[in-house]
Amino acid sequence: MSGASVLYDVPGPKAKVRNRIYSVLGALAVLALIGFIVLRLSANGDFDPARWDIFNYAGVRNSIRDGVLATLQVFAIAAVLSLAVGVLLAVARLSDHRPVRWLATGFIELFRSIPLLITIYAIWVLLLNNRTELGLSDNQPQFWALVIGLTVYNGSVQAEVLRAGILSVPKGQREAAYALGMRKTQVMTTVLIPQAVRAMLPTIISQLVVTLKDTSLGYIITYEELLYSTRLLAGNTTVGGENPYVQVIIVTGAIYIAMCLALSALANWIERRGRRAKTGIGVVEAGDVGNAGALTAAVAAEAAADTTADTAN
């Protein structure tokens, strides 16, 4: 936070004392809040070892592990597909042919504006109603509904991110490529897209974090991902007559946060590497909404501000 230090002076002796008092008071307030939560929960018996003992059972651990695996499975496929769809849609939206452009724009705008939950649900019902024609068995409709839903939504968002990236590549690059006698496809695939991807990588990865989080929407169509299976686990286990919702939620939350942080760490690592390369194109800071000033073209800056905020889903 480079801006922060500008907001206040280097504290003098008086301000130092005052800041110290505020620090203590602030720390006390935060501690009091945490203490209050812990106290209330322990009054309810939520820190009773017996309630946490459930995690010592192999069956419980296996169902959590299976949930994590199911989540990662959907995420892996949806991530790859959404990137592929994103590239296709971005290129289509920048196409010279008007119908292609319109079609891509319509697709992107439609799926970006409908809640993902509804998209997934609708796709699921469609798949179920045509399951014999499509040759889907048992749990496949759930799996594919989730994958396709995540793909069309995140693909649309990734397309906008990539488009902003392509527009941010200096005009000279494209002109130089054409001057060398490259064809449209060549310019796109060998000059524009690689640079766009590098410029937008952090944003692309923070959208992947969103994809990972959104796999939890699979509960609506009974796909047994992490959240669904731990919810069932909490509902079907009783300890002393109560369901261990608090315990299961804490563990599930920790796993999700760890997975997302691992992905974000990847984004930050790539960002740092990207900065080292001297390409003349700035890297948009991951998740730093509105801070698209690093982009060269003004149009791209606007588009990026628009799309980076989409990761707010």
Partner 1 sequence: MNVLLDYLPEFRAGFLGTLAITAASAVIALVLGVLIAGFRVSPIPPLRAFGTAWVTLLRNTPLTLLFLIAFFVVPKILFQGASPFVLGMLALGLYTSSFVCEAIRSGISTVPVGQAEAARSIGLSFTQTLRLIVLPQATRTVLPPLSSIFIALTKNSAVAGAFSVTELFGYAKLLSDKGYAIAVIFLWVALAYLLITFAISGVFRLLERRMGVAR
Partner 2 sequence: MRMRKTAAAGAVVLALAATATACGGKSGSAGDKAAAADVYSHDYTPAKNVKLDSAVLKAAQKKGHITIGVKADQPFLGFYDTGTKKYSGFDIEIAKMVAADLGFSTKQITFTTVDSNARETKISSGDVDFFVGTYTINVERKKQVGFAGPYYTAGADLLVRKEDKSITGPKSLRGKKVCSIKGSTPLQEIKKAQYGTSETLELSKYSECVTKLLDGSVNAVTTDDAILKGFAAERPGKLRVVDQPFTKEPYGVGLNKDDKVLREAITKALENHIANGDYEKAYKGTLGKSGSKFVKPQTPLPRG
Q: Which is nearer to partner 2, 170 or 274 (CB)?
A: 274
DSSP 239: B
Q: Which is nearer to partner 1, 94 or 260 (CB)?
A: 260
The identity of residue 68, as a single letter, is V
Q: Does 207 bind partner 1 (CB under 8 A)?
A: no
Q: Which option in partner 2, partner 1, none does residue 132 bind, with CB closer than 5 to 8 A by kind?
A: partner 2
- Environment class of residue 299 by beta-carbon count within 10 Å: exposed (0-12), middle (13-18) or buried (19+)? exposed
Q: Does 118 bind partner 2 (CB under 8 A)?
A: no
Q: Which option in partner 1, partner 2, none does residue 186 bind, with CB closer than 5 to 8 A by kind?
A: none
CB of 72 to partner 1, least distance (A): 14
Q: Give the C-alpha separation, 5 to 238, whole Å.
A: 52
Q: Which option in partner 1, partner 2, none does residue 53 bind, with CB closer than 5 to 8 A by kind?
A: partner 2
Q: Which option in partner 1, partner 2, none does residue 194 bind, with CB closer than 5 to 8 A by kind?
A: none
Name the region of 181 (left: φ>0; alpha: ψ -120 to 50; beta: rest). Answer: left
Name the region of 176 (left: φ>0; alpha: ψ -120 to 50; beta: rest). Answer: alpha
Query: Using the rule CB under 8 A, which residue among 260, 266, 294, 297 binds partner 1?
Result: 260
Q: Does 159 bind partner 2 (CB under 8 A)?
A: no
Q: Does 203 bind partner 2 (CB under 8 A)?
A: no
Query: Using the rule CB under 8 A, which residue among 73, 77, 131, 293 binds partner 2?
Result: 131
Handedness of CA 49, 51, 52, 58 (dihedral sign): positive
Helix H or strand E encompassing 132: helix 131-134
Spell out the residues 6+ positions from residue 189 whose beta carbon is closer than 8 angstroms to its own: none
CB of 118 to partner 1, least distance (A): 6
Maximum Cα interatomic distance, the chain, rounded to a whole number of Å? 78
Query: Using the rule CB under 8 A, which residue among 88, 94, 103, 245 binds partner 2?
Result: 245
Query: Using the rule CB under 8 A, which residue among 17, 114, 176, 180 binds partner 1?
Result: 114
Say if CB 219 and CB 227 are below 8 A apart: yes
Q: Give the C-alpha separation, 198 to 201, whole Å.
A: 5
Footprint on this chain of partner 2 (rule: CB under 8 A):
53-65, 68, 125, 128-129, 131-132, 137-139, 141, 221-222, 229, 231-245, 254-255, 257-259, 261-262, 264-265, 268
